């Protein structure tokens, strides 16, 4: 039997707003003293009322727009009910049938279109850490229950704005998944709504994977099961988890059985996925509209204002770099990876123009010399090019060229001699043009000064 992989992705991205989603606690919780950034709202105390964070909603809509989604002009929050200590309320405020954005897409470099089913807003949960009782310094050793496992809860993360981005099951291989994730990460970073640092848990990845058999493929039917791998925090692990799952599921199908519909985790040490729990269906969560937050109505004009405030996106910048600077695709891709390198490149291009240095030379230097753009000073790259490009100009040729330029520009020469020294740059330009090689402009300038002082 031949099987076709069906892979979809759920990605959670934490927004870097100043405050949390429904209260005024700081959202900058990473590495802070546990339970120090909390209040009755994000601790889920009875009677506490949530107030939605406008900045977070604007940013969620912005992500939706960047992913070509339709933005719902009527939207609302819903309660997703479940019992687990990471959310003390017993439910997560999320969105069910009216997410802020739906039906978008991302196009991969091979032309494949990946459908975005929805982009919705929700709140992050508290963080549980499972530890051995005796291993924790806060507990005195010698306790009669020292062998027991304990779980610590830190509510600092509880209520941090979280955007969930769900794709259609449009992937059939791990390489495309990786490219999609890189593009998504790049987009939220360009928008400056999240740093999407996976080591800090700011971007968390959940692939859902199943195999379609030939019959299902022919009849355009989904497989009878789906496996979701939870909370992966690196692109490499996603690739490995997908490869592992495809093999595992194929082995089960080959002996005539059906893989269990379940949620699995990824164990990086053993490089395997492992069963965590049977997968919930939407109806298990008993979704219902959040009664404490009124629904939202947006206007076309309001959405357009958000669209207008968006910076240039990676794809548009890439195309502009290809066209405006005549760069090869390889260069343009590297130079648009993030806005720090893109902005530095463009500043140097402006400087380069004054010095007869082409965008391609600047691109080459930044890429080949591995310039640390975050710490490089303006014109650093220009200087490197000028120094390395010092073509030793033939002395006779230089002397005759200078003579010619002086003859053809007597007015400029007189101006210089009568004290208008800025005119020297014009003469340098004339000499460079006649030499038609990448000579060092500063050397020619010195030489001209010498000649003019005679
Ligand atoms: Zn709070
Ligand atoms: Mn979610």
Task: Say how far apart CA 12 and CA 188 lie, in whole Å.
Answer: 12
Q: How confident is the model at residue 227 (pLDDT cuts 50, 70, 90)?
A: very high
Ligand 2: centre distance to CA 281 (Å): 13
Ligand 1: centre distance to CA 50 (Å): 9
Provide the 3-class DSSP secondary structure of residue 85. coil
Burial class (CB in 10 A: 0-12, 13-18, 19+), 274: exposed
Ligand 2: centre distance to CA 352 (Å): 48
Ligand 1: centre distance to CA 286 (Å): 25
Ligand 1: centre distance to CA 39 (Å): 4
Ligand 2: centre distance to CA 247 (Å): 27
Residue 141 has pLDDT above 70, yes or no: no
Residue 222 has pLDDT above 90, yes or no: yes
Span 388-406, average pLDDT:
81
pLDDT at 409: 94
| Cβ partners under 8 Å of residue 251, min gap 6 | none
Span 67-93, average pLDDT:
96
Which ligand sits nearest to residue 158's alpha carbon? Answer: 1
Q: How confident is the model at residue 390 (pLDDT cuts 50, 70, 90)?
A: low
Task: Say how far apart CA 207 and CA 223 lie, in whole Å.
Answer: 16
What residues have a C-beta under 5 A from ligand 1, the ion? 23, 25, 39, 41-42
Ligand 2: centre distance to CA 166 (Å): 9
Ligand 1: centre distance to CA 22 (Å): 7
The string of pLDDT tens digits covering residues 299-317 is 999 999 999 999 999 999 9
Q: How confident is the model at residue 283 (pLDDT cuts 50, 70, 90)?
A: confident
Span 190-203, average pLDDT:
97
Ligand 2: centre distance to CA 386 (Å): 53
pLDDT at 92: 97
How are the residues of the chain apportioned to helix, strand and coil, as percentages rounded to the nearest 5? 40, 20, 40
Angle (CA) 74-160-71 rounded to 5° is: 20
Q: What are phi and psi of 448, to 5 degrees?
A: -65, -40
Span 30-49, average pLDDT:
95
pLDDT at 432: 86
Which ligand sits nearest to residue 37's alpha carbon? Answer: 1
pLDDT at 117: 98
Which ligand sits nearest to residue 126's alpha carbon? Answer: 1
pLDDT at 106: 97
Q: How confident is the model at residue 392 (pLDDT cuts 50, 70, 90)?
A: low
Tokens of 2: 């031949």
Which ligand sits nearest to residue 38's alpha carbon? Answer: 1
pLDDT at 23: 98
Ligand 1: centre distance to CA 281 (Å): 30
- Compute how many other C-beta atoms are within 10 angstroms of the C-beta atom of residue 430: 20
Does residue 139 contact residue 133 with C-beta atoms inside 8 Å?
Answer: yes
Lowest mean pLDDT among 58-67, 115-124, 445-454: 445-454
Q: Which helix (H) or strand (E) holds 45?
A: none
Ligand 2: centre distance to CA 107 (Å): 24
CA-atom Rg of the chain in angstroms: 30
pLDDT at 136: 56
Task: Say how far apart CA 303 and CA 66 lie, in whole Å.
Answer: 12
Task: Say how far apart CA 11 and CA 347 lie, in whole Å.
Answer: 34
Does residue 68 contact residue 104 with C-beta atoms inside 8 Å?
Answer: yes
Place of tokens 């965590």: 276
Ligand 1: centre distance to CA 296 (Å): 22
**What are the distances in angstroms from CA 435 to CA 335, 411, 427?**
31, 21, 12
Ligand 2: centre distance to CA 12 (Å): 7
What size, in residues, is the chain?
A: 454
**Which long-range CB contacts under 8 A does 216-219 form with residues at least 24 apart?**
217/4
Span 217-229, average pLDDT:
94
Residue 436 has pLDDT above 80, yes or no: no
């Amino acid at each position: 039997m031949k099987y076709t992989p069906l892979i979809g992705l759920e990605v959670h991205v934490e927004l870097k707003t100043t405050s949390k989603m429904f209260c005024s606690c700081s959202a900058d919780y990473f590495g802070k003293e546990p339970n120090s950034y909390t209040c009755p709202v994000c601790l889920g105390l009875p009677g506490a009322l949530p107030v939605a964070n406008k900045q977070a909603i604007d940013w969620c809509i912005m992500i939706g727009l960047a992913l070509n989604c339709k933005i719902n002009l009527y939207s609302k929050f819903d309660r997703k009910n479940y019992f687990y200590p990471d959310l003390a309320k017993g439910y997560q405020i999320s969105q069910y049938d009216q997410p802020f954005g739906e039906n978008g897409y991302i196009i991969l470099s091979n032309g494949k279109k990946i459908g975005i089913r929805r982009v919705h807003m929700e709140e992050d949960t508290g963080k549980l850490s499972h530890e051995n009782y005796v291993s924790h310094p806060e507990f005195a050793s010698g306790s009669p229950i020292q062998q027991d496992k304990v779980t610590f809860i830190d509510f600092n993360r509880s209520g941090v704005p979280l955007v969930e981005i769900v794709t259609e099951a449009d992937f059939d291989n791990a390489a495309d998944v990786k490219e999609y994730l890189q593009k998504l990460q790049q987009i939220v970073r360009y928008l400056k709504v999240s740093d999407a640092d996976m080591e800090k848990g700011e971007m968390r990845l959940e692939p859902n994977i199943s195999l379609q058999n030939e019959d299902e493929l022919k009849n355009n039917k989904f497989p009878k099961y789906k496996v979701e791998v939870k909370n992966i925090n690196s692109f490499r692990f996603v690739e490995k988890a997908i490869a592992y799952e495809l093999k595992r599921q194929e082995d089960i199908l080959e002996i005539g059985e059906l893989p269990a519909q379940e949620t699995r985790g990824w164990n990086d040490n053993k490089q395997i996925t492992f069963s965590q729990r049977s997968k919930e269906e939407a109806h298990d969560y008993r979704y219902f509209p959040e009664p404490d937050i009124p629904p939202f109505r947006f206007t076309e004009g309001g959405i357009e204002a958000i669209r207008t405030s968006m910076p240039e996106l990676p794809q548009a910048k890439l195309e502009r770099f290809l066209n405006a600077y005549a760069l090869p695709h390889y260069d343009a891709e590297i130079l648009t990876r993030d806005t720090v390198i893109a902005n530095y490149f463009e500043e140097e291009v402006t400087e380069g123009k004054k010095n007869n240095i082409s965008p391609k030379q600047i691109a080459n230097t930044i890429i080949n010399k591995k310039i640390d753009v975050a710490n490089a000073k303006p014109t650093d790259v220009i200087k490197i090019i000028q120094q390395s490009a010092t073509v030793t100009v033939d002395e006779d040729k230089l002397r005759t060229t200078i003579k010619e330029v002086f003859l053809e520009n007597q007015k400029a020469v007189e101006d210089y001699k009568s004290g208008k020294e800025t005119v020297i740059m014009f003469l340098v330009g004339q000499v460079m043009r006649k030499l038609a090689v990448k000579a060092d402009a500063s050397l020619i300038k010195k030489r001209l000064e010498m000649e003019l002082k005679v």
